[in-house]
Amino acid sequence: MKIKRFIIFILLAVLLVPATYASDRQYVLLISLDGFRWDYINRGLSPNIEWIAENGVEALSLEQVFPTKTFPTHYAIVSGLYAENHGMISNSFIDWETGERFALRNREMVESAKYYQGEAVWETLRRNGIVTASYFWPGSEMDIEYRRPHYYHQYDHERPHLERIEGIIEWLQLPEDERPQFMTLYYSDVDSEGHRTGPYSDELNDTIELVDSLMGVLLDRLEDIDMLDRINIILVSDHGMTEVSPERVIELHHVLDDYDVVTDGVGPVTMIKPENPDDIEEIYSRLKDEEENYRVYLKENIPDYWHYSSHAYIMPIMVVADLGWSLSPRPYDPARGYFATGGNHGYDNKYLDMHGIFYAMGPAFKEGYRTGTLRSIDIYPLILEIFGIEARSGIDGDLNNIRYILRE
């Protein structure tokens, strides 16, 4: 009898193992609403986003890396690295090895894997046998196959909103062995409108309602395919937004015109590289003497908390405007003054106006849980923890800072 009961126990255990593993199969959808500031949810215009926050984890805000610009911050989220370590130091910068300028409109450079250091989360998951997919994300189009998600779309700013959602739904309906367990989804609308009309405009509020309606469609479609209760949704934004004005423009040309220099950046940050290294200290001193509504640093003295001084592409002098002020290396031309009208971002990441959102719900997350400010660099190890995979060594993110939002 004992032998018979033992055999029955073993058979039951064998039969139950597949069911147990099937129920533990994790899915993660990482969504970015570009430029959705931490406090936009408080305007009462986003009931679907509020529903996600209320039924999962709601962070006060999401602190991004410096500079608070789209490519540096998005790649920090998926790599767990500060900008000086992942190499994407801005949306535009000069590659001093080649003399070429990295620019978002240059598709060849955007796809070049040399500019994306570290390892994105989809790379780590691929190495561990997890199928991945991306409906847009900076870095997802790299020109090395194994560094991309298994499925991906080349960025198309005009791609219809609902088509992106249907792309996610189609992936989730693939046969299980082909179905991605990790996916990304991206919308730029809030950022674009924030730049055009500022963070307090009626047009911006209309755009908040638009992207919220898209989240409502996504939730409904996930429910249609019986995935809403099975998928972990992580909803973030890459930065916030602050008001700028032509009345708050700082012109630097009266100093820089006296020297032969290369400058990079208008708005929140301007970097300066004198052709003659002997001019570095003199230019720095002159800018320092006039320091008002901005701060100027030598590369070696950039504040430690920005983690922004060790990369080769960073120039010897960096000028950072105070919140809401704009820098112009040349005389300011209102006809070309897009950066000084409406809204902008890229400032010190400690400013609350630069903080984004973090809301997460799903089987891996606590329910109805509110917490304080989280750090974007901790999201990479968090995602890997959901899949039971150890993060790669040498990252800047720390799972211990964020693990507590997961269910026991």
Q: SS3 helix, strand, coil % of the chain, rounded to 5?
A: 40, 20, 40
Of 321, 336, 311, 324, the residue nearest 287 (C-alpha): 321
Catalytic annotation, pick one of 20, 68, 70, 184: 70
Rounded to whole angstroms, the Cα distance separating 388 from 385 reads: 5
DSSP letter at 336 equals G
DSSP letter at 187 equals E
Which helix (DSSP H) or strand (DSSP E) does residue 52 occupy?
helix 47-54
Sign of the torsion formed by the C-alpha atoms of 40, 91, 62 and 147: positive
The token duo for 332 is: 């300011």
Of 67, 68, 57, the residue nearest 34 (C-alpha): 68
Torsion on CA atoms 198, 200, 203, 206, rounded to nearest 10 = 130
**262 CB contacts (<8 Å, ≥6 apart)?**
94, 272, 273, 275, 315
Rounded to whole angstroms, the Cα distance separating 48 from 396 reads: 32
DSSP string computed for 274-290: ESSGGGHHHHHHHHHHT
Q: Is 70 an active-site residue?
A: yes
Pairing of strands 182-187, 132-135: parallel
Active site amino acids: 70
